[in-house]
Structure 1
Amino acid sequence: MSALLAVVGLVALALSLALPVIVKPLLRRLGVIDIPNDRSSHTTLVIRGMGVAVAAAILAGLALSLATGLVAVDRSLILIIFLMVGAASALGWIEDFRGLSVRVRLAVQLLIGAAGTAALATTIDESSYWWLPVGAIAVAAYINAANFMDGINGISGMHGVVVGAFYAWAGLLSDQMWLIVAGLVVAAAFAGFLPWNLGRGFVFLGDVGSYLLGASIAAIAVTGLLAGVYLEYLLSPVLIYLADTFSTFLRRARRGERLSAAHRQHVYQRLTDAGLTHAQVAVLVSVLSMLTGGAGFVLATAAAPLAVSVSLFAAAVVALYLSSPRIVRAVRGAVGRRTAVRG
């Protein structure tokens, strides 16, 4: 079984690494290009839409786990995740290629979440239909969170690797093979995308990729919640993304800004404006996500005194991230003044 699990992960990794060789020229011919503006974190024309390759890798890995019998129990859970991820990726591709109104995008995202949650409730426990609005909102919210956070090289790929790995670990601790497989496939596929996103001649995931990332994580999380996986296992690895997204949303709402307008107010964007490189910010976000993820995994089964300490630690990590642009600017300013005095 472990050998077959490794094969499924390697297939997802290999496809994600190899498919861009074919997909990149096709995207160029189709004109799926990202044109930089004053809100962008890049300055040159970049091919977007490479999430198509990552989506193919994830869907192939999930399909292979079913075809080989790797997931012998709860096969329907993998199938539902497959359908939710495929539908969200298709929506993202339409947005990349043709464009859609905000209302249409949101309506379809909610529909994907509601339909997926209804299917999960039917499969797992028919008494859990009351989760349907929660699942619908969770899927739509995290698709948009992943889309908002996909603004610099490396950040989405690393997020997929980190969260996928934590979810695979959660599946191991919960003895749920479907969760091990789903987490591993997501981690492997986004790991395969990283060299294309961080190397020379880099490419972007595009909306198809950010929708894929958000839907994959949200679909796994909603499935895990209904399947009895600890909430801490599912929520803790995504705390940094959620904190950045919702703190920015609240800040802009307080200022009365048009929430659908492009901007550069996310924490990760302000970190690049403060002087950090894309790779440095992506690594920082990933490391802090690993810290909150690790804290959540301890918290899930901790006794009361330890639980309080671990919760405070996770809150401190989130607070550190939200304050990091000010900290970076202060440190760089102090270093600059010291250098000027010595010169």
Structure 2
Amino acid sequence: MLLLVFGGGTLVLSSLLPFVVKPLLMRLGIMDVPSERSSHDRPILRGLGLAVLIAMMLSLVAVFLFALSVAPGADASKYLLAIGVGTIAAGLLGLGEDLWGLSVPVRSALLLIIAGVSSAAMLWIADQSEEAASSRWVLGLNVAALPLWVLVVLCIYGVLFISSYINVANFMDGLNGISGFHGVIAGLTFSLAGGLTGAVWLAVSGLILATGFAGFLPWNLTKPGAFLGDVGSYLLGGAIAILSFAAFVDGLPFLATIGPMVIYFGDVGVTLVKRVRAGHKWDEPHKEHVYQRIQQLGYSHVWASGVAALCTLLTSLLGLASIYADIFGSLALLVGGLTVLIFYLALPRILPAREL
């Protein structure tokens, strides 16, 4: 019932709010003009991720208040509060970038603050928890049993992990459908993980993520089209990374929490290394990501985005399987996930070119 109410509510809000948000964006003149990084050839409205942000924000606030009324001191309400605050903050940072443009130092500092507060909050909740899920999973993390110095290391890891993935999601938002598909798959993966492990807060918040971006897809894929903008890509990266880190410190195996992120991390990491080795500046606009090179072979936006989504789905399913795997099974699943990544990275060389 919780999944139906909050997931369905988010889907309805995300699908309908663009009718309100779109005229506002048009009055503000927030358009995406084609550049060296663009895969489109005409100005298109951007910033429609604001509708997704509002939909997810309302749902996250509602589910937090519900959890607070049912069990005020339970971990669920604490996790939902931390997830909601971090996710909304990431989206608002992207909105600021869309509206005013932020300098690199300011944007980077705010990203680190959001990631730092989110990481510290998750670790504190897990450390104080008396209902940790880690004891139930062979390879789960038991934060409450860790010494202080390990918690500090985990917090630093969380800061780098969350802030970097927000940037990764922003870099990968370059084709119609790719971010919407990613949000749906990642959200459903976390929702299923929560259902399998009894973490209701993860199941509900994951479904809110999935339905939030599912509502955006029709607006993105039908003419005249519209883009998420930084508000949407920052929201996407922040929500996925914060949910992943929260699930990890709550005791889910690492592979189960990282599965939806493997393809994105791999694409961005390999592309940046190649550019640096070629003598290019890593932060210059470009169209050298794997998904962009697939589209440049003559495949449609939806086709190229679908390929990335399918590979993400495969790594996500392999990650979920690790919930019930021992160390040897997890190693086999890790090899399987890396095989999918290698296959994805090789696609621009494998796929035949199509006539444009």
Corresponding residue of 1:105: 107
Corresponding residue of 1:339: none
> In 2, are the aligned partners of 1:121 and 1:129 still within 8 Å (CA)?
no
Corresponding residue of 2:11: 13
> In 2, are the aligned partners of 1:162 and 1:290 still within 8 Å (CA)?
yes
Q: CA 1:28/1:282 → structure 2, altered by over 3 Å: closer, same or farther?
A: same
After superposition, the C-alpha distances for 1:155-207 in whole angstroms (9 at most, x for unaligned) are 00000000000000111112111100110000010000000000111100000
Instruction: Give the whole-Å Cα distance in 1 for the aligned partners of 2:118 and 2:284.
Output: 29
Corresponding residue of 2:25: 27
> In 2, are the aligned partners of 1:135 and 1:222 still within 8 Å (CA)?
yes
> In 1, are the aligned partners of 2:49 and 2:233 still within 8 Å (CA)?
yes
Q: CA 1:129/1:123 → structure 2, altered by over 3 Å: closer, same or farther?
A: farther
Corresponding residue of 2:353: 332
Q: CA 1:231/1:308 → structure 2, altered by over 3 Å: closer, same or farther?
A: closer
State the TM-score, normalizing by the size of structure 1: 0.92
Corresponding residue SS for 2:176: coil
Corresponding residue of 1:186: 209
Instruction: Find the partner of 1:216 among 229, 232, 239.
Output: 239
Instruction: Give the whole-Å Cα distance in 1 for the aligned partners of 2:201 and 2:106.
Output: 32
Q: CA 1:151/1:284 → structure 2, altered by over 3 Å: closer, same or farther?
A: same
> In 1, are the aligned partners of 2:167 and 2:234 still within 8 Å (CA)?
yes
Structure 1 residue 90: deviation in Å? 1.1
Q: CA 1:121/1:312 → structure 2, altered by over 3 Å: closer, same or farther?
A: closer
Structure 1 residue 306: deviation in Å? 4.4
After superposition, the C-alpha distances for 1:111-132 in whole angstroms (9 at most, x for unaligned) are 1000111222222216434422
Mapping of residues 1-343 of structure 1, within 5 Å = 3-69=1-67, 72=71, 73-74=74-75, 75-125=77-127, 127=148, 128-303=151-326, 306-328=329-351, 331-332=352-353
Note the residue ranges of structure 2 that are not aligned, 5 or more in a row: 129-147
- CA RMSD, aligned part only? 1.7
> In 1, are the aligned partners of 2:252 and 2:323 still within 8 Å (CA)?
no
After superposition, the C-alpha distances for 1:124-147 in whole angstroms (9 at most, x for unaligned) are 216434422111111110000000
> In 2, are the aligned partners of 1:33 and 1:46 still within 8 Å (CA)?
yes
Q: Which amino acid aligns with 2:345?
A: L
Structure 1 residue 86: deviation in Å? 1.3
Higher relative contact order (CA 8 A, sep 6+): 2
